[in-house]
Structure 1
Amino acid sequence: MTRPLVIGARLRRYPQFTTLGPRPNLEDYSPQELELIRRAPVVFYPTEALAPQLAALGKRLFPSLACHLLEGDKIKQTTLFKLLGLPHPRTRVFYGSQRRDIAGHFAFPFVAKKPRASCRGRGVYLIENQAQLDAYLADNKVAYIQERLPIQRDIRVVLIGFEPVCAYWRVPPPGEWRSNVAQGAVVDFAGVPPRAVELAARLARAADLDEVGVDLAMVDGQALLLEFNVKYGRQGPALMGLDVVDYVAQGILAGKLPPPRE
């Protein structure tokens, strides 16, 4: 039996897979390795560098092409939520001279984010006055502005194969308003509302996000989508006793991943 082919390094500890590892140039792979890539019907963890090209060749990917195309881009994710008609905080993107109109759409305080390539709570700002807004605009040509929600914590739902495998509250430490575990947030598994988990699963299935961490907020009993990450943190699941890498590996070896197409 041919071993599953992996490009990224995530499953490298498992000898049951052929892990090639990411390389800066395609020529860095040997002819034999290139042939393995060409022949593989499914490529696991193809990396952002190769995912679009492999999908164009008709390869099945895990995580999916959608995961790779939307990872780390808050503008694309917000557009997706709106197209799907799924609940999301009021958000606008301002380009060029449009940035002068921010105050006409949002009253202080509001949240401003680096629209692309931000994670672990970095690139997220609470804007309370014009001076803070000016400082944010000086570093961001495109402004991603979102209403500040009346919340003290948010929710992370991890889904693998579209199925929720872990859900927990993220509670910021005293003096910190961001709820990222990387910023010191505490994980709480008690009382996560089923409607939040259901909304995360609805998003994952609708958008073909087959391995993802979805962040949500609860406002007045309603679940709202915040964003999602394919490169989600593993600390929260580990505190529940879940090794997500092993979960994925065993799912692949059992033929459950990628999930069947409906």
Structure 2
Amino acid sequence: MKLVTFNPFRTIGIPGVQYVKPDNMFKDIDKIREADFLLFPEKWMVNSLVYGLHKEVFPSIQTIQLGFDKVEMTRALWSVASDHVPQTEIAGKSRESIQKILELFPFPFVAKEIRNSMGNGVFLIKSKEEFIAYAERNDVLYIQEYLPIDRDLRICYVGDSVLSAYWRIGEDNFHNNVARGGKIAFHNIPQEALKLVEDTASLLGINHAGFDVVFANDRFYFLEFNSLFGNQALIQQKLSVEKVIYEYLLRQHTPKFPTTPVFGGSKIS
């Protein structure tokens, strides 16, 4: 199995991987053509690799494209798990959309930048003035209802199953991300949440993502998922994401046979 990676830090320990710098994609195109799988391409590369060169990429093209921004992610989740998405409004910046949001959402509510992660670009809006300030900075308004929670679940899905799940408990009851100081707890993980992630990932064709799930109003909700998630908790559990990726690729790999098979030394015509 021939593997090319565009992100060597995400593939440390996977045997037989060649590194191609993303900027050298077309310079090293012969290496890319010969590979069975292309690992961790950047978003701008994916259409050329999949539709132009007809190559297999990991994470899947669905994972990369849907995980690129919260708008596409949310629309995909609406399509397969609408009951598990908080009330959300996505709109262009205009007086009409600003007024509509102020009428729909009581304070406080959550406003997000559509391309951000690790808790960055997520704001708890407590007044009209705060919302106007957010709207002035963003051409796309992404608004969600505020869910009163003190923790969330990070559920790591790799290949075709959940690899790990853990609670992230924040100090301010709003940002629970480990990158923002959230504490990790591995106990009392609800199986219903794991099943929700497994079913949703399978339906969407996602094979490498950290799903953020919360429990509120007697149900589980998706907040978002990240196709490139942190591994601090996985290291604590002594779990190897790279090993799971490699075993998954082996299961997906279909060896390429010669056009004219040879059996017992004689050609079959």
Q: CA deviation at 1:18?
A: 3.1
Q: Does 1:67 align with 2:66?
A: no
CA distance in 2 between partners of 1:133 and 1:147 (Å): 13
Match of 1:245 among 227, 231, 242: 242
Q: Which amino acid aligns with 1:164?
A: V
Match of 1:150 among 136, 148, 158: 148
CA distance in 2 between partners of 1:251 and 1:78 (Å): 27
Q: Specify the SS of the correspondent of 1:24.
A: helix
Contact 2:109 2:145 in 1 (8 A): yes
Match of 2:77 among 50, 74, 81: 81
CA RMSD of aligned residues (A): 2.0
Structure 1's 221 and 191: CA in aligned 2 closer, same or farther, altered over 3 A? farther
The aligned counterpart of 1:126 is 124
Alignment of 1:161-240 (within 5 A): 161-173=159-171, 175=172, 177-240=174-237
CA distance in 1 between partners of 2:246 and 2:14 (Å): 11
Structure 1's 212 and 257: CA in aligned 2 closer, same or farther, altered over 3 A? farther
The aligned counterpart of 1:43 is 38
Q: Specify the SS of the correspondent of 2:167.
A: strand
Structure 1's 72 and 142: CA in aligned 2 closer, same or farther, altered over 3 A? same
Q: CA deviation at 1:250?
A: 5.0
CA distance in 2 between partners of 1:177 and 1:188 (Å): 17
The aligned counterpart of 1:19 is 18
Q: Which amino acid aligns with 1:8?
A: N
CA distance in 2 between partners of 1:213 and 1:48 (Å): 17
Contact 1:6 1:17 in 2 (8 A): no
Q: CA deviation at 1:26?
A: 3.5
Structure 1's 244 and 41: CA in aligned 2 closer, same or farther, altered over 3 A? closer
- Percentage of identical aligned residues: 28
Contact 2:149 2:173 in 1 (8 A): no
Q: Which amino acid aligns with 2:211?
A: V
Contact 1:111 1:146 in 2 (8 A): yes
CA distance in 2 between partners of 1:25 and 1:157 (Å): 34
Q: Which amino acid aligns with 2:124?
A: L
Q: Does 1:256 align with 2:251?
A: yes
The aligned counterpart of 2:135 is 137
Which structure has the bigger radius of gyration? 2
CA distance in 2 between partners of 1:213 and 1:15 (Å): 20
CA distance in 1 between partners of 2:132 and 2:121 (Å): 15
Q: Which amino acid aligns with 1:218?
A: F
Contact 1:110 1:126 in 2 (8 A): yes
Q: Which amino acid aligns with 2:203?
A: A
The aligned counterpart of 2:263 is none
Structure 1's 153 and 258: CA in aligned 2 closer, same or farther, altered over 3 A? farther
Which structure 1 segments of 5+ residues have no match? none
Structure 1's 239 and 105: CA in aligned 2 closer, same or farther, altered over 3 A? same
Deviates more, 1:4-13 or 1:77-86: 4-13
Q: Specify the SS of the correspondent of 1:256.
A: helix
Deviates more, 1:237-246 or 1:127-136: 237-246
Q: CA deviation at 1:84?
A: 1.2
CA distance in 2 between partners of 1:69 and 1:184 (Å): 29
Q: TM-score if structure 1 supplies the norm length?
A: 0.88
CA distance in 1 between partners of 2:218 and 2:165 (Å): 17
Q: Specify the SS of the correspondent of 1:242.
A: coil
